């Protein structure tokens, strides 16, 4: 028995890696999945500046809030695709039936989705920070906050995605379910940027963001598994 | 396992339906009396507040509804947990019954809070008050759960989805409350903090002590009535329901 144990542990991560790589392949082959959220974010930021007016000081005053809300919307709107295709072609059912632990499978799926939607939004953050007139030395802080925060948004949003995957019209319902849960992330996220702009200590808000991320990674898969299981009942 | 009998009985829609019929008049009657007495006492016989004058009297509606609205969420989440763990039909019905009542109470707490805010703060809505903002988020959570219920054609799946969502909300409510508290205190020093509740005079507190249990009883009565509708809808094809309807 004892000699089998390391092998079993290795097999766990073989399945995790296989699922991660498979999902990344699928996403990369459809350009819309990673490009659309990014284009959406850039467009909405353009609309915000048109709505607020061209005054640079008014824009930079609201920049942290705007960027966080827009990033949140971009990630949230892309979440409907997280389990949808797998649900439609039946591979989700196979995943639920497989002997591998679902916890790791869910982690792999959400991580792959984050690589494709959250990470591009983080990587493009210098671009739209400059559009909104955020000071250049704050941009790394904003990117770091978004890096942690987009993970929180992906994991919490995946709960909404799993609960609505068997419904034909899940999009708006995901928003209704997840937006109240996003409140802590957006508060600490935009506070983090604000602290950098004002020169306040960064660690308190950053540790709160990290704590939220850890909590989301540990707890959200439990709810996601429940949601995915019930999607097979209908 | 005689000690668990009450719990197993709770799982029987027939037993529950009969119990509701027996208890509802008493709960509703006592709740109405308590609410009525506390309202008359609070509106007519307590002295006006030295700072807020008569406008503080809305406390006798606002505070009980706010307390019960928050408690209702936790009762609903417990029903959700019972439904997930033991798959009890009655727990699903209770979850369905509590959601609209809780949402209505939250809405009432928000409206009375806004009405109270106008004479005291000079504005209907003040974002600096963390409690107002977190009540609004609680209202959104209720609405999300109700929308999730309605979205499913298959009511069994809808119940399960709502149960999971109510538990997710339970984990999040304290985090949301704390973060909103942090957010509002960081933006504005606590100049507008309400301190009435802790420093309230005894004459003002007495009617409130009647109004809070009154609101709880009213909530229980409203949930009982909702539950009776849920039971009738779910058990319409059973024999006992047909016998009851024939009586």
The answer to the question of residue B210 being in a domain is yes
Q: Cα A137 to chain center, whole Å? A: 25
pLDDT tier for residue B193 given thresholds of 50, 70 and 90: very low
Residue ranges making up the domain that contains B223: 16-246
Inter-chain touch B182–A227, beta carbons under 8 Å: no
Contacts of A177 in chain B (CB under 8 A): 144, 147-148, 165
Cα gap B105→B154, rounded to integer Å: 28
**Mind telling me how many Å the CA of A123 is from chain B's nearest CA?**
27
Single out the residue of A175, A205, A170 nearest to residue A191, CA to CA: A205
Contacts of B153 in chain A (CB under 8 A): 234
Inter-chain touch B148–A163, beta carbons under 8 Å: yes
Inter-chain touch B176–A180, beta carbons under 8 Å: yes
- Runs of H (alpha helix) within A53-138: 56-78, 81-89, 91-97, 102-123, 125-131
The tokens of A212 are what? 């939220």
Nearest CA in chain A to B142: A177
Cα gap A189→A202, rounded to integer Å: 11
Name which of A164, A184, A233 is nearest B175 (Cβ-Cβ): A184
DSSP A135: -
pLDDT tops 70 at residue B197: no
The pLDDT value recorded for residue B190 is 41
Contacts of A169 in chain B (CB under 8 A): 151
The pLDDT value recorded for residue B107 is 96
Contacts of B73 in chain A (CB under 8 A): none
pLDDT above 90 coverage of chain A, percent: 48
Q: What is the ipTM of this complex?
A: 0.86
Q: Give the count of domains, chain B.
A: 1
Inter-chain touch A188–B179, beta carbons under 8 Å: yes
Kindly report, residue by residue over A142-167, the tens digit of the pLDDT: 999 999 999 999 999 999 999 999 88
Cα gap A80→B241, rounded to integer Å: 42
Inter-chain touch B153–A166, beta carbons under 8 Å: no
Q: Whole-number mean pLDDT of chain A?
A: 88
Contact B73, B105 (CB under 8 A): no
Inter-chain touch A173–B165, beta carbons under 8 Å: no
Single out the residue of A161, A174, A146 nearest to residue A113, CA to CA: A161
3-state secondary structure of A134: coil
**Mind telling me how many Å the CA of B43 is from chain A's nearest CA?**
36
Across A89-106, average pLDDT = 89
pLDDT above 70 coverage of chain B, percent: 91
The answer to the question of residue B70 being in a domain is yes
Contacts of A233 in chain B (CB under 8 A): 154, 156-157, 160
A67-86: b or e for each residue (b if 16 or more CB lie within 10 Å)?
A: bbbbbbbbbbbbbbbbbbeb
CB-based contacts of A66, cutoff 8 Å, min separation 6:
A45, A48, A132
* Chains A & B: contacts with CB separation below 8 Å: 79
Least confident of A80-94, A122-136, B39-53: B39-53
Inter-chain touch B151–A173, beta carbons under 8 Å: yes
Inter-chain touch B151–A164, beta carbons under 8 Å: yes
The pLDDT value recorded for residue B196 is 47
Phi first, then psi, for residue B143 (nearest 5°) are -65, -40
Across B27-39, average pLDDT = 92
The answer to the question of residue B1 being in a domain is no
Kindly report, residue by residue over B155-176, the tens digit of the pLDDT: 888 899 999 999 999 988 888 8
pLDDT tops 60 at residue A1: no
The pLDDT value recorded for residue A7 is 64
Single out the residue of B179, B80, B68 nearest to residue B133, CA to CA: B179
Highest mean pLDDT among A10-19, B10-19, B207-216: B207-216
Name which of B140, B153, B168 is nearest A159 (Cβ-Cβ): B168
Single out the residue of B238, B230, B244 nearest to residue B90, CA to CA: B230
Across A182-191, average pLDDT = 91
| Helix A183-198, helix A139-164: angle, nearest 10 | 180
Chain A 75-134, residues with CB within 8 Å of chain B CB atoms: none
Q: What is the largest CA-CA distance in chain B?
A: 65
**Mind telling me how many Å the CA of A10 is from chain B's nearest CA?**
32
- Which residue has better confidence, B60 or B130? B60
Q: What is the DSSP string of chain B?
A: -GGGHHHHHHT-HHHHHHHHHHHHHHHHHHHHHHHHHHHHIIIIISPPBTTTBGGGGGHHHHHHHHHHHHHHHHHHHHHHHHHHHH--HHHHHHHHHHHHHHHHHHHHHHHHHHHHHHHHHSSS--TT-HHHHHHHHHHHHHHHHHHHHHH-SSHHHHHHHHHHHHHHHHHHHHHHHHHHHHHHHHHS-SSS---HHHH--HHHHHHHHHHHHHHHHHHHHHHHHHHHHHHHHHTTTSHHHHHHHH-
- Give yes or no for A187 touching B (CB within 8 A): yes
pLDDT tops 80 at residue B29: yes
Cα gap B132→B106, rounded to integer Å: 10
Contact A193, A142 (CB under 8 A): yes
The pLDDT value recorded for residue B189 is 45
Inter-chain touch A177–B154, beta carbons under 8 Å: no
- Give yes or no for A173 touching B (CB within 8 A): yes
Contact B7, B88 (CB under 8 A): no
Contact A192, A209 (CB under 8 A): yes
- Give yes or no for A219 touching B (CB within 8 A): yes
Inter-chain touch B179–A176, beta carbons under 8 Å: no
The pLDDT value recorded for residue A64 is 86
Inter-chain touch B156–A188, beta carbons under 8 Å: no
Cα gap B176→B237, rounded to integer Å: 43
pLDDT tops 70 at residue A169: yes
Q: Whole-number mean pLDDT of chain B?
A: 84
The tokens of B187 are what? 């933006």
Name which of A163, A176, A181 is nearest B172 (Cβ-Cβ): A181
* Confidence (pTM): 0.88
- Give yes or no for A205 touching B (CB within 8 A): no
Contact B43, B60 (CB under 8 A): yes
Single out the residue of A48, A70, A71 nearest to residue A60, CA to CA: A48
The answer to the question of residue B135 being in a domain is yes
The pLDDT value recorded for residue A153 is 95
Q: What sign does the dihedral A69-A184-A216-A213 (CA atoms) show?
A: positive
Kindly report, residue by residue over A206-224, the tens digit of the pLDDT: 999 999 999 999 999 999 9
pLDDT tops 90 at residue B113: no
Alpha carbons within 13 angstroms on the beta-carbon side of residue B192 total 19
- Give yes or no for A202 touching B (CB within 8 A): no
pLDDT above 90 coverage of chain B, percent: 39
The answer to the question of residue B112 being in a domain is yes
């Amino acid at each position: 028995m004892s000699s089998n144990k390391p092998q079993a542990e290795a097999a766990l991560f073989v399945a995790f890696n296989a699922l991660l790589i498979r999902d990344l392949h699928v996403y990369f082959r459809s350009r819309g999945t990673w490009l659309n959220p990014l284009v959406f974010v850039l467009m909405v930021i353009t609309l915000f500046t048109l709505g607020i007016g061209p005054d640079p000081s008014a824009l930079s005053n609201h920049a942290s809030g705007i960027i966080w809300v827009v990033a949140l919307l971009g990630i949230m709107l892309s979440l409907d695709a997280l389990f949808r295709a797998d649900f439609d072609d039946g591979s989700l059912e196979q995943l639920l039936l497989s002997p591998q632990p679902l916890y790791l499978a869910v982690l792999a799926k959400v991580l792959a989705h984050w690589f494709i939607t959250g990470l591009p939004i983080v990587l493009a953050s210098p671009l739209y920070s400059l559009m909104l007139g955020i000071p250049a030395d704050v941009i790394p802080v904003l990117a770091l906050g978004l890096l942690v925060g987009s993970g929180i948004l992906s994991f919490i949003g995946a709960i909404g995605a799993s609960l609505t995957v068997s419904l034909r019209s899940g999009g708006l319902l995901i928003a209704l379910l997840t937006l109240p849960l996003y409140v802590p992330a957006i508060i600490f996220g935009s506070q983090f940027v604000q602290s950098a702009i004002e020169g306040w200590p960064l660690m308190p808000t950053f540790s709160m963001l990290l704590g939220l991320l850890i909590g989301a990674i540990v707890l959200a898969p439990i709810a996601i598994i429940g949601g995915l299981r019930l999607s097979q009942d209908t | 396992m005689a000690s668990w009998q009450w719990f197993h009985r709770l799982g029987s829609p027939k037993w529950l339906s009969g119990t509701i019929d027996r208890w509802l008049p008493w709960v509703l009657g006592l709740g109405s009396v308590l609410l009525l007495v506390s309202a008359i006492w609070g509106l007519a016989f307590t002295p006006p507040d030295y700072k807020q004058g008569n406008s503080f009297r809305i406390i006798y509606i606002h505070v009980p509804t706010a307390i019960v609205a928050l408690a209702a969420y936790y009762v609903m989440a417990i029903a959700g947990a019972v439904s997930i763990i033991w798959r009890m039909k009655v727990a699903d019905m209770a979850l369905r019954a509590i959601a609209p009542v809780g949402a209505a109470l939250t809405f009432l707490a928000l409206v009375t809070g806004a009405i109270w805010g106008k004479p005291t703060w000079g504005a209907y809505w003040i974002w600096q008050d963390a409690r107002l903002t977190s009540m609004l988020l609680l209202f959104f959570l209720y609405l999300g759960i109700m929308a999730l219920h309605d979205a499913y054609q298959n009511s069994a799946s809808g119940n399960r989805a709502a149960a999971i969502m109510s538990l997710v909300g339970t984990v999040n409510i304290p985090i949301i409350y704390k973060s909103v508290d942090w957010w509002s205190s960081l933006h504005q020093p606590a100049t507008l903090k309400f301190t009435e509740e802790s420093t309230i005079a005894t004459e003002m507190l007495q009617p409130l002590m009647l109004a809070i249990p009154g609101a709880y009883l009213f909530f229980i009565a409203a949930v009982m009535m909702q539950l009776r509708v849920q039971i009738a809808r779910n058990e319409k094809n059973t024999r006992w329901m047909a016998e009851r309807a024939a009586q």
